[in-house]
Structure 1
Amino acid sequence: MCAMSNPARDPAPSRLAYRVQRLWLTPLFRRALFRGMPLAFLVALPAVWFADDARRAAIGTEIAALRDQIVSRPEFMVGMMTIKGGSDELRADIREVLALDFPVSSFDLDLKAMRVVVQELDAVKAADLRVRPGGILEVAVQERVPAVVWRGEAGLEMLDRQGRRVAHLEQRAARPDLPLIAGKGADAAVPEALALIAAAAPLSARLRGLVRVGERRWDVVLDRGQRILLPETGALVSLERVIALDHVSDMLARDVLAVDMRNPNRPTLRLAEGAVDELKRIRRLQAGASEG
């Protein structure tokens, strides 16, 4: 019996070997193998090292110590503060709200937050903070300019031309140069009040102030208890009309308590009690003379 010959070996690669060879021919796979794996190893090594709590704490302590050494260097220290602009009172308020304890490192100064704190002061319109060479913190402020004194529920307050609060006022006599407005809601109508005050310049010697009535309209208050009652709309035109009439007839020099312009089409005069009696007496005399 003849011996059976060994079957011929199949030269074709196995399915697994074929897939591996195809994968090896892929450029992305080769880059990932030769570059990605070493990079992953380098990333994983520090992660494993930092997994220990004691090592992390030691590193944190060293970083904090290094930061302290840097921020406390003389070239980074701020030793004083200067304030440009504003009154002495405002400067004192700024120093109080910032409450800085010098020397302090410039790294510990949050200039943006400090600027917000300064601008929250009523008297500050704008502020700018920066650290100057030589360790000087410079605060440049633009102060609000008071335009009127408002007598409100909280007492006397100085307001700027937009009605923003500037400062509290203890006594009216402390700022006689500023016009007086009063009444609830008067602070919200300061621009209109200033326009009326400017129009009342011919009566400035007698003008005592403006009173906001019902948060809707103004009364112009003069000496001798006289008032000009203005309408809700067209107040400026009505006031100019009263001033023109007074210029022609000296109306406000008479015993008039009020000039009511709330209805511009029907102005009304309110006479003092004595003037009313005198007017009645004159009318009786005129009536008797006509009968005779």
Structure 2
Amino acid sequence: MRRLIGKTDKANKARETTRAEAHRARKSRPPKKQLGLRGWLLRGGFGIVAAGVVSGGLALAWQQGYPQQVVDRLHLAGVNLTGSAGLTLRRVTVEGRLRTPRADVFAALGATQGDPILGIDIDQARARLESIDWVRSAVVERRLPDLIHIQIAERSPVAIWQNRGRFSLVDTDGHVINRQDVGGWSHLPIVVGDGAPERTRDLLAMLATENRMAERVRAAVLVSGRRWNLHIGDPSSDVEIRLPETDPDKAWAWFASLQRDHNILARDVRIVDLRTPDRLVVRLASDVVEETQVLKGGEDT
């Protein structure tokens, strides 16, 4: 019995010694989170210092008159140094993208994950973004240590341009947005002819002065780059309104007032010619031509 008790005591003491040593070993280890934070701070701080050194070195080399080739090599070496120090691209955020293809945005940025973030040319990236059809303007920001933020303002289509059998969208600036399919924009008016996109904004502003009539305009054809022919109604009952080259806004307002007062479109009209001042020429579907002259006093003859 004594022998068994003695052996048990020795075993217990051995286990307690082992536990105590393991506890002291765990206690002597630094916390993992603290080490990780310290390492990140050291690495990020070194990267920022490296970036400052590189910028200063390049500025000094430029001031000293070193050849551009030497300056470019110093720049490349400095960028690689900052990348090794932890200043690399890890995240890209995009704001304002609705219709611009995501792949086009990242292709325009011209960088991939892991590239030195200071090696990304912000101005060139912005220029490439603004060359995308849907992008009206873009802002590219470098947010150290690892983020590029892109803000996009997209174009707003206001018309469809028909040119030589092809269809494209047109925005308020007259910029052409090339698309394979414009079916989702069938509610927009169609403008036809060379130079029509550049004059679309003025056309729509003129039409908007008579909103109720503007809603009935289906298409507008720019004739010889000088004046517009408007098309009202569906193709089966199309009415062509021929506006003059000079003061088309006055002719449009006159036509709208005639429609309100006399409802001339209720007749089987095919062409309304307003090109001659103070004179209205109407061609019916039966090829009958009616001409009305408006006197200064406002009476018709």
TM (normalized to structure 1)? 0.66
* Residues 100 and 134, structure 2, Cα contact 8 Å, conserved in 1: no
Cα 1:88–1:229 change in 2 (3 A) is: closer
1:175-214 to structure 2, matched below 5 A, reads: 175-204=185-214, 206-214=216-224
CA distance in 1, matches of 2:189, 2:167: 12
CA distance in 2, matches of 1:87, 1:227: 37
1:1-292 to structure 2, matched below 5 A, reads: 68-74=80-86, 76-153=87-164, 155-168=166-179, 170-171=181-182, 173-204=183-214, 206-223=216-233, 224-273=237-286, 276=288
SS in 1 for 2:207: helix
SS in 2 for 1:77: coil
Cα 1:249–1:178 change in 2 (3 A) is: same
RMSD: 2.7
Cα 1:169–1:206 change in 2 (3 A) is: farther
CA distance in 1, matches of 2:244, 2:151: 44
Q: Which runs of 4+ in 1 moved over 6 A?
A: 61-67
Cα 1:197–1:69 change in 2 (3 A) is: same
Alignment: residue pair count: 215
Of all paired residues, the percent bearing the same amino acid is 26
Deviation at 1:270, TM superposition (A): 0.9
Larger Rg: 1
Q: Which residue identity is paired with 1:73?
A: A
Structure 1 portions without partners, runs of 5+: 1-60, 280-292
SS in 2 for 1:219: strand
CA distance in 2, matches of 1:189, 1:62: 50
SS in 2 for 1:264: coil
Structure 2 portions without partners, runs of 5+: 1-72, 291-301
TM (normalized to structure 2)? 0.64
CA distance in 2, matches of 1:88, 1:225: 34
CA distance in 2, matches of 1:163, 1:213: 17
* Residues 145 and 166, structure 1, Cα contact 8 Å, conserved in 2: no
